[in-house]
Amino acid sequence: MNLNWNWRNSLKKLKEIIVMCYDHLGDPYYQGSAATIAYFLFLSILPIVILASQALGLFSLSIETILKWAEINVSGDGFELLQSLLKHKSTGTNNLILAAVALWAASRANIYLVRLANYTFYDGAIVGKGYVRDRVRSLVTVVIALGTFIISLVILVYAPIFLEKVFKSSDFLYAIGEVWLAMRWLVVLGLYFLVISLVFYFLPSWRLNYVDIIPGSIFTAIGLIIVSIGFNAYVSFSTDYDLLYGSFANAVAIIIWFWAIGWVMVIGIIFNRVWWAVRTKNQLPIPEDVISKRNPTGLF
């Protein structure tokens, strides 16, 4: 009986969270937010690849090496589309100036997320600490996220080699290899969640407790996986979309994917704020004057 009550209570709370998230999106501040994020992501993807290629070079890795690893472990038409987009040939201009320009460009999407997080977490009272401070925070967040992502890739690529060298004379080498094959996607998911949670943690201009951003990070991580699976299915089944868009077909597919990613990021940030309002301990209700400004129309 008690178990049934908890189940019903959980469903009731989930319904309340969904309704509150939808209501939250009625704030005019969020109109066009997903499209803005998609725009900046699309502009930043090449600088991010350049920056990542330089960082990977410190570990004797290249974008081509990572793509070959992914080709073995990942499949699907969506990945093939991304593979063609992410191929990058070094021009020999690996220098601090190029890295700084790439980092600056890559932070454009993040500075928007910084202001969005501030507006959401502090109920519209603030959006930031000024352009310079927000830009610096955005750059720092990009460096942290990119660094975590690079280290994650290094771990995934070099882990089998490391295990082989450590256990080369052991009778358990084959068993250890099989365990790694079985566990590698759990490691990927763990590192993937770590990157997202760190981004959410460092977005606000005022520090939050890490535990406060975990629910939204979980929602965002799951949402991005679902969106990526949907993107892969879209590319797989939309065999004739190039007839409509011609040479712009790849760009259109990527923009739609980025737009969906934008919505997941926005809702993930809102999910955290809504969670604070419904949780049992340390509850932070949303002020009535903030709710009164909302008009849930024109969501998309």
Neighbours of 289 (CB within 10 A): 9
| Letter string b/e over residues 86-111, b meaning 16 or more CB atoms within 10 A of that residue's CB | beeeeeeeeeeeeeeebbebbbbbbb
How far apart are the C-alpha atoms of 292 and 77, rounded to whole Å?
45
Q: For 13-67, what is each residue's pLDDT tens digit?
A: 888 888 888 888 888 888 888 888 888 877 777 677 777 777 777 777 766 666 6
Query: For residue 66, what pLDDT is reported?
Result: 66
Q: Could you read off the pLDDT of 117-172 as tens digits, one per residue? A: 999 998 888 888 887 888 888 888 888 887 887 787 777 777 777 766 666 666 66
Count of residues making up the chain: 300
Cα 276 from chain centroid (whole Å) = 21
| CA–CA gap between residue 254 and residue 252 (Å, rounded) | 5
Across the range 235-262, mean pLDDT stands at: 71
Domain ranges of the chain: 31-291
CA atoms within 13 A on the CB side of 198: 16
Which span out of 161-170, 198-207, 262-271 was modeled with the highest average pLDDT?
A: 262-271
Residues 173, 100: Cα–Cα separation, whole Å = 43
Compute the average pLDDT of residues 91-102. 60
Look at residue 268 in the predicted model and tell me its pLDDT. 93
